Amino acid sequence: MGSAEKGANKELIENMRKDYPLGPHDKPQSMCPAFGSLRVGLRMKRVATVLSGSACCVYGLTFVSHFYGARRSVGYVPFSSETLVTGKLYEDILESAHEMADPDRFDAVVFTNLCVPSASGVPLRLLPKEINGVRIIGIDVPGFGIPTHAEAKDVLAGALLNYAKNEIESGPVAAPASKKSDRPTVTLLGEMFPADPMNIGAILEPLGLAAGQVIPCREWRELYAALDCGAVAAIHPFYTAAVREFEDAGKPIIGSAPVGVEGTNSWIDNLGDTF
Ligand code: SF4
């Protein structure tokens, strides 16, 4: 941590400290936090996930991913002290991006810097934004800046929303697979049980609203649907980067979730004030 703060990635660490306060511990507060973002990526259709980090970290992350039923390979760009120090690791990641960018297989490829490449400042932001029509996304998810899986999910959700938002600003984008509601929708931010959107939809219906897309999502074009909403309900409190992207897109944010009688009443009041 100390060397990362003094080193090339001081700005990254400062931003993470703002977004994800560490509390009393200056270290990960769960098993490798990067599992959160890895799992979100693995659940998305036509999205490839590639890790860059120490072999032992990647072993643990792939083991847990497959334990939890990932049905896809996790990509890996290995490094040595030499490739890390000379900058060759970045070149290897770039080469991997070109190899992976097959538009017949993928809409996007997500590269994740784990602890060592993040601390060393391997500059994933310099990767091309797109190769052969495949979106290339780079994120840093070090255990010394991201406390738990929840914040790691936000790192990837925020990066994906940022990319999709820029695409919307540049021109027409694909319509969502499911029919768009003729009512204003409320995007639901945070992972939830399958029945939750239906229950929330039942609360929204008398207000003339509909439950919208859940973020993190399962398909690229669902990001467009999420951004095409009337408001965003931040059901989980950890999604700082995602909230920033929605706010930047001009979407009002309603905090918390409809839980309990008083909580649900005040949530509905907030919705009423917003629409
Ligand atoms: S990436 Fe960092 S937090 Fe994750 S297992 Fe490796 S050292 Fe631990």
What pLDDT sits at residue 4? 54
Cα R_g (the chain), whole angstroms? 19
Q: Which residues line ligand 1 (CB under 6 A)?
A: 28, 32, 34, 53-54, 57, 60, 114-115, 142-143
The β-bridge relationship of strands 47-52 and 75-77 is parallel
Q: In whole angstroms, what is the distance from residue 116 CA to residue 114 CA?
A: 6
Residue-level pLDDT, tens digit, the chain, 275 residues: 455 555 557 888 888 888 887 765 566 677 899 999 999 999 999 999 999 999 999 999 999 999 988 888 999 999 999 999 999 999 999 999 999 999 999 999 999 999 999 999 999 999 999 999 999 999 999 988 898 899 999 999 999 999 999 999 999 898 877 777 889 999 999 998 889 999 999 999 999 999 999 999 999 999 999 999 999 999 998 899 999 999 999 999 998 888 889 999 999 999 989 98
Spatial CA neighbour of 19 closest among 137, 113, 152? 152
Nearest residue (CA) to ligand 1, atom 7: 115
Per DSSP (E only), the strands in the chain are 47-52, 75-77, 108-113, 130-131, 134-140, 185-189, 210-215, 231-234, 253-255
Domain boundaries, the chain: 2-147, 185-274
In angstroms, what is the span from residue 60 Cα to ligand 1's centroid?
A: 9
* Residue 116 CB coordination number (10 Å): 18
Q: Is the ipTM beyond the 0.95 threshold?
A: yes
- 185-274 shares the fold of 2-147: yes
Q: What is the pLDDT of residue 258?
A: 87
pLDDT score of 45: 96
* Structure confidence at residue 3 (pLDDT): 53
Atom from ligand 1 closest to the CA of residue 28: 3
Identify the pLDDT of residue 181: 84
| Ligand 1 center from residue 54 Cα (angstroms) | 8
Residue-level pLDDT at 15: 86
* pLDDT (0 to 100) of residue 175: 85
Assigned CATH for 2-147: 3.40.50.1980
- Check: CB of residue 57 under 8 Å from CB of residue 35: no
Ligand 1, residue 143: give the atom nearest the CA: 3
Q: What would be the CATH architecture of the domain defined by 185-274? A: 3-Layer(aba) Sandwich (3.40)
